[in-house]
Structure 1
Amino acid sequence: MDNRITTPSILLQRVILMMLAILLAIVFSIFVVRVVQASDPYVKTVLALKGDPVQGHAIFQINCAGCHGLEASGRVGPSLQGVSKHKSRYGLIHQVISGETPPMPKFQASTKEMADLLSYLETL
């Protein structure tokens, strides 16, 4: 039996190599996700526009306040205060348009409406 495989220094090297491989896989995955997100034409257009938070507030009042409250402090849906500190701009856009979190419906906003709404959410 070869004892070199189980020596502490060899084990340490293997653990370090394994950790580096995992770290590289995570970094690569994040990079791929960002590239895919950035290639979405809708998202690219929304992020290129300068949103109007006042108009975004009006859009919020019409479409979102029923669940998130008039000042986004929560009712049926969660509070959105400080939401832009916890979610990326892409994450916010995806959350609003996807409908992947029931009971939140899909919101099919135009790119300008989404830019305005995103601008308002960033003020919370």
Structure 2
Amino acid sequence: MNKPSIQTETENQLPATVAIALIVVGAIAVIVFGIYQIQTSDPYIESVLATEGDPMRGHAIFQMNCAGCHGWRKDGRVGPSLEGVSERKSDKEIIHQVISGETPPMPQFQPKPQDMADLLSYLKKQ
């Protein structure tokens, strides 16, 4: 005579936990891929990257719009330090950060492509 198998509650939860973990990992992968696709095909970003920036104008734009949070010398205040930001993030990532507003309390900006190119050239300058 066979005894019925008795599974504990923990054994029953294991497949559900694995399934949830796989769903979360899949969702994160889809989001990351989506952001990558947006960044690589966004006409605004492509326009900025095709425009030669002026770091002097970029400095003035930074002082007017960014220094209040990121410090007069890009050294951080409310917002993080932006010293060497171009070594940590690609141009597309920097542009996306500025225009997206995805990281509160940073607001969303939509500067003209020339202004963004100028700002980017200033941020790349050491």
Please list the CA deviations of residues 49-82 of structure 1 after superposition, one character each: whole Å capped at 9, or x if unmatched: 0000000000000000000111110111111000
- Structure 2 residue aligned with 1:82: 84
Q: Distance in 2 between matches of 1:52 and 1:63?
A: 16
- Structure 2 residue aligned with 1:99: 101
Runs of 4+ in 1 over 6 A off after TM superposition: none
Q: Distance in 2 between matches of 1:102 and 1:68?
A: 14
1:107 is displaced (CA, Å) by 1.2
Q: Distance in 2 between matches of 1:122 and 1:79?
A: 13
- Structure 2 residue aligned with 1:119: 121
Q: How does 1:54-69 map to 2 (within 5 A)?
A: 54-69=56-71
- Structure 2 residue aligned with 1:53: 55
AA at the equivalent of 2:116: M
Question: What 5-or-longer segments of structure 1 have no aligned partner?
Answer: 1-25
Q: Distance in 2 between matches of 1:102 and 1:36?
A: 20
Q: TM-score by structure 1 length? A: 0.71
Identity %: 61
1:36 is displaced (CA, Å) by 4.3
Q: Distance in 2 between matches of 1:36 and 1:95?
A: 13
Root-mean-square deviation (CA), in Å?
1.8
Q: TM-score by structure 2 length? A: 0.70
Cα pair 2:53 2:114 within 8 Å, conserved: yes
Alignment length (residue pairs): 96
